[in-house]
Amino acid sequence: MAGHVVDQLYEDHDRILEALDMLEKAVEGVEAGRVDPAVVLELIDFLSRFADHYHHGVEELLLFPALERRGVPLHGGPIGVMVCEHGMGRYMLRNARAAAERVRSGDRGAVAELKHYATSYRDLLVQHIDKENNVLFAMARDVIGEGELVEEARRVAEEHGREELLKRLGEIRARLGG
Ligand SMILES: [Fe+2]
Ligand SMILES: [Fe+2]
């Protein structure tokens, strides 16, 4: 079963959306004093490794360059927009992490900042994933053949410990209570 390279990426999107929901709940919990800020930091760490390093890595090193080679332009098209949004997401996640670390060390004043960056990150990624699912990946299905880049994408997943990270996400979900 070779499948298409975007199959794995669609699946990643579902896991990322799940983690974003959990992040939103965890931040609300921190705000209400019910949840340990360490849980928020774990979710941020998951998103940084899974979404930013691994998933955006597959897109930026394998999928997007393949689309460029098939004539999809980097500038003035969806690829450039996607790459910019990956960068904006990294910025928001970094600042969410910095704010969460301040909250963990007792600075309640940083909760609002944490919420700001976590919410901005979620809003950005929800619409980003929507565009990829409905526009870019549909385009990729047309120009990239079945089985192409599938092994390469699997290798990147392995290098980044995709399965291990997903197991960890399950553990955080259990700690958050569902
Ligand atoms: Fe992306
Ligand atoms: Fe994506």
Q: Where are the domains of the chain?
A: 5-176
Q: Looking at residues 37-51, what average pLDDT do you find?
A: 98
Who surrounds ion ligand 1 at CB < 5 A? 59, 82
Going by pLDDT thresholds of 50, 70 and 90, the confidence category of residue 75 is very high
Lowest mean pLDDT among 41-50, 56-65, 70-79, 151-160: 70-79
Nearest to 172 by CA among 27, 9, 30, 43: 43
The CB density around residue 127, as the number of other CB atoms within 10 Å, is: 11
CA 52/CA 56 separation, integer angstroms: 5
CA 178/CA 167 separation, integer angstroms: 14
Q: How far is the CA of 72 from the centre of ligand 2 (A)?
A: 17
> What does the pLDDT read at residue 178?
59
Q: How far is the CA of 143 from the centre of ligand 2 (A)?
A: 17
For the whole model, what pTM was predicted?
0.96
CA 47/CA 55 separation, integer angstroms: 10
1 pLDDT above the threshold of 80? no
Q: Looking at residues 64-74, what average pLDDT do you find?
A: 95
Q: Average per-residue pLDDT in the chain?
A: 96
Fold category of 5-176 in CATH: Four Helix Bundle (Hemerythrin (Met), subunit A) (1.20.120)
Q: Do 100 and 41 meet the contact criterion of CB atoms below 8 Å apart?
A: yes
Give, in degrees to the nearest 5, the angle at Cα 135 between 49 and 51. 5
Q: How far is the CA of 113 from the centre of ligand 1 (A)?
A: 25
2 pLDDT above the threshold of 80? no
- Report in angstroms the alpha-carbon separations of 20 from 62, 104, 169: 24, 20, 11
Q: How far is the CA of 52 from the centre of ligand 2 (A)?
A: 9
140 pLDDT above the threshold of 70? yes
Residue located via tokens 């960068």? 87
155 pLDDT above the threshold of 70? yes
Q: Looking at residues 51-64, what average pLDDT do you find?
A: 98
Nearest to 89 by CA among 43, 125, 130: 125
> What does the pLDDT read at residue 117?
98
Q: Looking at residues 127-144, what average pLDDT do you find?
A: 96
Residues whose CB is less than 8 angstroms from the CB of residue 67 and which lie 6 or more positions away in sequence, other chains included: 79, 136, 139, 140, 143, 144
Q: Looking at residues 141-168, what average pLDDT do you find?
A: 97
Q: How far is the CA of 85 from the centre of ligand 1 (A)?
A: 7
Q: Looking at residues 135-148, what average pLDDT do you find?
A: 95
- Give percent of the chain above pLDDT 70: 99
